[in-house]
Amino acid sequence: GAGSAFPPRARHLLRAGRHSVPLGERTLVMGILNVTPDSFHDGGRYLTADVALARAREMVDAGACIIDIGGESTRPGAGKVSVNEELERVLPVIEAVVSGTDIPISIDTSKAEVAREALKAGARMVNDITALRGDDEMAAVVAAAGCPVCLMHMQGEPGNMQKNPRYDDVVTEITAFFEERVEWAVARGVLPENIVLDPGIGFGKKLEHNLAILRHFERFLPLGLPLMIGASRKSFIGAIMGDDGTGERLPGTIA
């Protein structure tokens, strides 16, 4: 399993094209740029390339180390988007941000064709919420590019993931999922040093599951791979704060 293959290491250099992102020295921040009309927090705000570039520059100035660009909303209940529509959304924005900033870009997609074209346009990392399960060709695209890839845990899919997620022990089950996915990806040519793991806060998880992940985050460390956590302004923060919208979740996010 992955536990024995990857001994824990305190520091890790994630090579994203000509960029080297040092992990393990401090917590790094990934900026999220949703170029979708329906994302839960910023849907519709950054659809055009010039507006998206301005926002990307703000993120760089604020200290982001990488920017994640996505063209398909993954909020609970979200519908699917065609390959062509997703490409039309993300490619102009990727090209603008690559030419107008000096920060590595991650493409948030589960479609191999979108990942392939995004990497051609200058993206340097693939962030796949399906952990390479959503498209049979995705592992080959990542392996051929030799780029970093983030494998996320999700129970179900965005359309149904929050209906009634169940776990006996959420952290143990996610760990087993990670071990299986890493082994699967490496067997298909993905380099172990290119893999990042994301337990998928809010993706097929109830409040108590999200809190268990945060409370026991160190239990993922023996996998020996970099960990990413996406908690920003998600509904579990609102539930803790007694807030039913996304407006007041920033303090909880920062905490």
Of 7, 35, 38, 12, whose CA–CA distance to 25 is shortest? Answer: 12
| pLDDT by position in tens, the chain (length 255) | 444 444 445 578 899 999 999 998 888 999 999 888 754 444 445 568 888 899 999 999 999 999 999 998 777 777 788 999 999 999 999 999 999 999 999 999 999 999 999 999 999 999 999 999 999 999 999 999 999 999 999 998 878 888 889 999 999 999 999 999 999 999 999 999 999 999 999 999 999 999 999 999 999 999 999 999 999 988 899 898 887 665 678 888 888
Six token digits for residue 200 = 């998928």
Six token digits for residue 201 = 């806060």
Alpha helices in the chain (DSSP H): 2-5, 49-62, 83-100, 112-120, 138-145, 170-187, 207-215, 235-241, 250-254
Six token digits for residue 212 = 């268990």
The angle subtended at Cα 242 by Cα 163 and Cα 166, nearest 5°, is 25
User: What pLDDT is stored for residue 3 in this prediction?
Assistant: 46
- Enter the pTM of the model: 0.89
